[in-house]
Amino acid sequence: MSPASPVSPAEVPISLMLLGMFIMLLLSAYFSSSETAMMAVNRYRLRHMVNERHPGARRTNSLLRRPDRLLSVILIGNNLVNFSAATLATVIGLRLLGDVGVAVAPVVLTLIFLIFAEVAPKTIAAQHPERIAFPSSVILKPLLSVLYPVVWFVNTIANLLVKPFAPEPGTPHADHLTQDEMRTLVNENVALPTRGQSMLLNVLDLEKVTVNDIMIPRGDVVGIDLDNPIEEILSLMASSEHTRLPVYRDNINNIVGIMHLRRAVRLLKVKEAVTVDDVLAQTRDPYFVPEATPLNTQLVNFQKEKRRIALVVDEYGEVHGIVTLEDILEEIVGEFTTDFAGNIDEITSLTDGSYRIDGMAVLRDINRALSWQLPTEGPRTLNGLITEHLGVIPEANVCLLIDNYRIETLAISENRIEDVRVEQMAVERKDDDDDDEGQNSF
C-alpha cells in the first residue's frame, strides 16, 4: 500500500480557501481591535475597577504591566495571520485568474484587510476600549503563555534596539499627571457636579496663592492693646465677633500672644476684678508665618502646629496682617455665606450696573464676590492695582481701562485712592493686528 501523497493547493476547493480567508480576516480584526483597546483603556478607571475586583479589569491590568510583552503577542498573532492571508490570497488569485490574479490579489487583499481588519475594528475599539479589552484578555493571557518563548526572543532583540531611546531613571511615568493636566481633567469631567469641580480646582490652585494674598491686612486687624484701660479691653472681649484676638502693646508689631475668648469667659467667671496681668496670663504664644508661604503649605502647618490663626510677617519681621484656617478653607469651598457681595461693606451696587468699591478692597475678594477676573498677580488691593497701572498716585480723578474693566476714581487722598467706581465692559473681538496688552487709559 503506497503512502498518501500530500494535497497540493490546486486540489483544495476554492470555497474552503475562501472560508480560510474569512477566518483570517476575523482573526486579524480581533488582534487589531485588541491592540487599540488595550492601549486606549483609561488607566485610572482600570485601577478603580481592579480595586473593585472586576475579573476582566484584573486580567487586563495584569497584561498591561508589561506592555512590551502584550504588544509582542498581539503583533506576532496579527502578522502571522496577515502573512498567511497574503499567501492564501496569492494562491486563490492564481487559481482564478492565472498570472493576472497574482498581481491583483495583493491589491484586493490590502483594501479588504485595511477596511475590515484595521480601520473599522480599531475605530470601534477606540470608542469602546473596555468592551473590547476585557473579553480579549481571556484569549490573550493564555496565548501569551503559549507563545512565551517567541515573545521573549522578540522582546530581547527589540529592547536592545530601543534601549538608547529609553527615558532616564527617575523620569516621571507617562501615567503621572501634572497639575495642569489634572486641572484639565477636572474641568472636562462632566460626571462631577459643578460645585465639586470648583472645589477640586481650588485645591489645585492652593500652591499658587500665598498667605499674603488672603491675609487680613494689618489695618483691619482687631486686637487687644494692653496699654488700653482694662474696661475697654473687657468691652472689646465681650463684643468681639472673632473667637481669637491678637494681644499686643502699643502696636501689633509688639505682639505678646493670642487670646482665645473661651478662656476670657472662664476668666470673667472666676475673677471679679480682672487685671491686665490676668488677661496676659490667658494668652498663647503667637505663631508667625512668612508672607510668601503657599496656602497648601500653610494648611499643613496649621494642622501640624495645631493652630487656627497666624501672624503674617515680611522678611524684616514686620507684621503685615493675620491669616486664619477659615481663610484658607474659604479659598477651597468659598465664602461661608450665601450673599458674599452683599456682606462686603467695601462693595456697593449702583443702579447703572456698576459698583462703587473702596480702594482698599482686596482684589481676590472683589473677584470672588462679583465673579470678576481682575488681575491678582502683583498688588493685593484695588488701590494698588490702579497706582501700579498709572505709575503714580493721581492728583485728580482719572478714568482708565484695565483688561475689560472701566475704572473711575471718585475720591483720592494724599497717599491712596479711597473710592472707585468699576464697571465690567463687554469684551469686543479684536483683529490680531490690533491686539495690544489689554490695558489702556483714556
For position 322, which CATH number holds?
3.10.580.10
3 state SS of 180: helix
* Total domains in the fold of the chain: 3
Q: Are residues 347 and 328 in the same domain?
A: no
**Model confidence band, residue 126 (pLDDT cutoffs 50, 70, 90):** very high
The pLDDT tens digits of the residues spanning 319-368 come to 999 999 988 888 888 765 544 444 556 788 888 888 999 888 888 888 87
Q: Are residues 88 and 106 in the same domain?
A: yes
Higher pLDDT, 157 or 14: 157
Q: Are residues 98 and 69 in the same domain?
A: yes
Q: What is the dihedral sign for C-alpha 431, 432, 434, 436? A: positive
Residue listed under C-alpha cell 503657599: 294
The pLDDT tens digits of the residues spanning 143-155 come to 999 989 999 998 8
Q: Are residues 303 and 348 in the same domain?
A: no
Q: Which of 302, 317, 333 finishes a domain? A: 333
Average pLDDT for 71-86: 91
Q: Are residues 142 and 226 in the same domain?
A: no
> 304 exposed, middle or buried (CB, 10 Å; 0-12, 13-18, 19+)?
exposed
Establish if 97 belongs to a structural domain: yes
Q: Are residues 258 and 319 in the same domain?
A: yes
Q: Are residues 320 and 226 in the same domain?
A: yes
Average pLDDT for 308-314: 92
Q: Are residues 324 and 427 in the same domain?
A: no
Domain that holds residue 423: 341-441
Establish if 200 belongs to a structural domain: no
Q: Are residues 316 and 355 in the same domain?
A: no
Alpha-carbon distance of 160 to 150, in angstroms, equals: 16
Alpha-carbon distance of 388 to 405, in angstroms, equals: 15
Establish if 181 belongs to a structural domain: no
The pLDDT tens digits of the residues spanning 226-244 come to 888 888 888 888 888 888 8
Q: Which of 333, 360, 387 finishes a domain? A: 333
Q: Are residues 346 and 326 in the same domain?
A: no
Q: Are strands 216-217 and 319-324 parallel, antiparallel or unpaired?
A: antiparallel
